[in-house]
């Protein structure tokens, strides 16, 4: 039996778009001890493939992290299968806020060193000595107190298009950079209430454990992240304290939480929250671009990339050879991050 997809990505996407049934975009994670991640990965692939599930799943000794789309008619079977796995029984499933179901068209399950890369190599760190969960109601009550510190544990480009009121940005490209930065930025606030949040809960849960490991005492983290918060707040008719768009790591690149647009086009400066990748494959930069600039620059991030895109394919291939792109994300926060580190 095949344990990997054998059909091209292009064909699989076409098949997904031609489906006559509805899909539901879901994310879930669980920190748990998995003794043999490779064996678990293979068993997972066989069972999810039978249910026509697409998505991206990471498995490690420390647990599982999944973003998937499930055919609506297979939801009950999917939940039943998860319940057969002891550490996933009755697990919370985060259903996407803006849910068109067209987020994935392949099933990819990979074994990783960790389910979220954190850069932690301290053998005394215990992931399970974490902060206290808070739901939407408790989060709102805690953050009504202006002395509470709200910390966004997502990357700078996620924060840019949407975040909670009065949230502190840790301006970095990666979670592994954020952890030591958060400790350093808040080192004089160890007696304050600190509430951490992220998209679905996986990063802020680990971050809360890291803060506790570093001597912070009153640490909380938002259960289920922004996604679960929005569903809870709307279901319980609570004020929604998140403003803008929630960035997501799938084909959608974002889901609307409110109609507010709090970010700007990186090319012209007009209000815009539309993340795209540069059309020039030799660049592929992630940045915010309005529809007008998309037409003007032909979907590229610059005139240089636009001109390169117009070259014959063989010339573009030659240009790309040996090119070091580095982090392919537009970061308007780099200078601010440097200043913060120099001042601390």
pLDDT in tens, 22-32: 999 999 999 99
Q: If we measure between CA atoms, which residue out of 143, 142, 214 comes closest to residue 185? A: 214
Mean pLDDT of 123-129: 91
**Are 30 and 82 a contacting pair, CB within 8 Å?**
no
d(Cα 251, Cα 25) in Å, to the nearest integer?
11
Q: Respond yes or no: is residue 265 known to be catalytic.
A: no
Q: Is the pLDDT of residue 178 over 50?
A: yes
**Given 198, 278, 290, 301, which residue is catalytic?**
198
- Mean pLDDT score across all residues of the chain: 88
> The tokens 């924060």 sit on which residue?
159
Mean pLDDT of 68-84: 96
Q: Which CA distances in Å does 45 have to 41, 49, 56, 93? A: 6, 6, 11, 18
Q: If we measure between CA atoms, which residue out of 119, 94, 333 comes closest to residue 222? A: 94
Ranges of beta strands (E only) in 139-241 are: 149-152, 162-164, 168-169, 194-197, 219-222
Strand order in the sheet with 132-134: 132-134, 219-222, 194-197, 149-152, 168-169
Q: Which CATH class is domain 132-231?
A: alpha beta
d(Cα 140, Cα 143) in Å, to the nearest integer?
5
- Residue-level pLDDT at 33: 93
Taking the alpha carbons at both ends of the chain, their separation in whole angstroms is 55
Third-level CATH fold of 9-111: Alpha-Beta Plaits (3.30.70)
What does the pLDDT look like over 182-210, one tens digit per residue?
Answer: 999 999 999 999 999 999 889 999 999 99
Pairwise pLDDT comparison (73 vs 334), residue with the higher score: 73
* Axis-axis angle for helices 202-213, 175-185 (nearest 10): 40
Choose the most confident range, by mean pLDDT, from 93-97, 215-219, 245-249: 215-219
What does the pLDDT look like over 292-330, one tens digit per residue?
Answer: 999 999 999 999 899 998 888 888 777 777 665 544 555
Say which range, 25-29, 169-173, 220-224, 266-270, has the weakest mean pLDDT. 169-173
Mean pLDDT of 254-268: 93
Q: Is the pLDDT of residue 108 over 50?
A: yes
pTM: 0.80
- Residue-level pLDDT at 335: 42
Where are the domains positioned within the chain? Answer: 9-111, 132-231, 263-344
In the structure, what pLDDT confidence band is assigned to residue 224 with cuts at 50, 70 and 90? very high
d(Cα 218, Cα 268) in Å, to the nearest integer?
43
- Residue-level pLDDT at 2: 59
**Are 173 and 326 a contacting pair, CB within 8 Å?**
no
- Residue-level pLDDT at 333: 43
């Amino acid at each position: 039996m095949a344990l990997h997809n054998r059909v091209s990505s292009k064909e699989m996407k076409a098949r997904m778009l031609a489906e006559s049934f509805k899909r539901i975009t879901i994310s879930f994670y669980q920190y748990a001890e998995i003794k043999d991640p490779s064996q678990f990965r293979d068993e997972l692939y066989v069972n999810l493939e039978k249910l026509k599930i697409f998505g991206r799943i990471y498995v490690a000794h420390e647990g599982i992290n999944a973003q998937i789309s499930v055919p609506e008619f297979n939801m009950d079977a999917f939940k039943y299968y998860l319940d057969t796995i002891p550490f996933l029984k009755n697990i919370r499933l985060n259903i996407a806020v803006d849910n068109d179901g067209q987020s994935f068209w392949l099933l990819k399950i990979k074994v990783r060193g960790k389910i979220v890369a954190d850069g932690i190599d301290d053998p005394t760190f215990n992931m399970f000595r974490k902060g206290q969960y808070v739901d939407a109601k408790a989060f709102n009550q805690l953050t009504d107190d202006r002395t509470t510190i709200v910390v966004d544990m997502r990357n700078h480009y996620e924060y840019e298009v949407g975040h909670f009121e009065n949230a502190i940005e840790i301006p970095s490209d990666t979670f592994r950079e954020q952890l030591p930065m958060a400790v350093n930025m808040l080192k004089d606030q160890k007696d304050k209430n600190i509430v951490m949040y992220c998209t679905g809960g996986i990063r802020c849960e680990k971050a809360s454990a890291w803060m506790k490991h570093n001597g912070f005492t009153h640490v909380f983290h938002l259960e289920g992240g922004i996604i679960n918060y929005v569903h809870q707040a709307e279901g319980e008719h609570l004020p929604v304290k998140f403003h803008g768009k929630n960035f997501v790591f799938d084909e959608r690149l974002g889901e609307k939480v409110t109609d507010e647009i709090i970010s700007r086009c990186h090319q012209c400066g007009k209000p815009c929250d539309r993340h795209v990748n540069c059309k020039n494959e030799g660049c592929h930069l992630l940045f915010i671009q309005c529809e007008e600039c998309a037409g003007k620059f032909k979907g590229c991030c610059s005139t240089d990339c636009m001109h390169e895109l117009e070259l014959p394919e063989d010339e573009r291939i030659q240009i790309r050879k040996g090119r070091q792109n580095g982090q392919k994300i537009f970061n308007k926060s780099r200078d601010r991050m440097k200043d913060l580190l120099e001042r601390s």
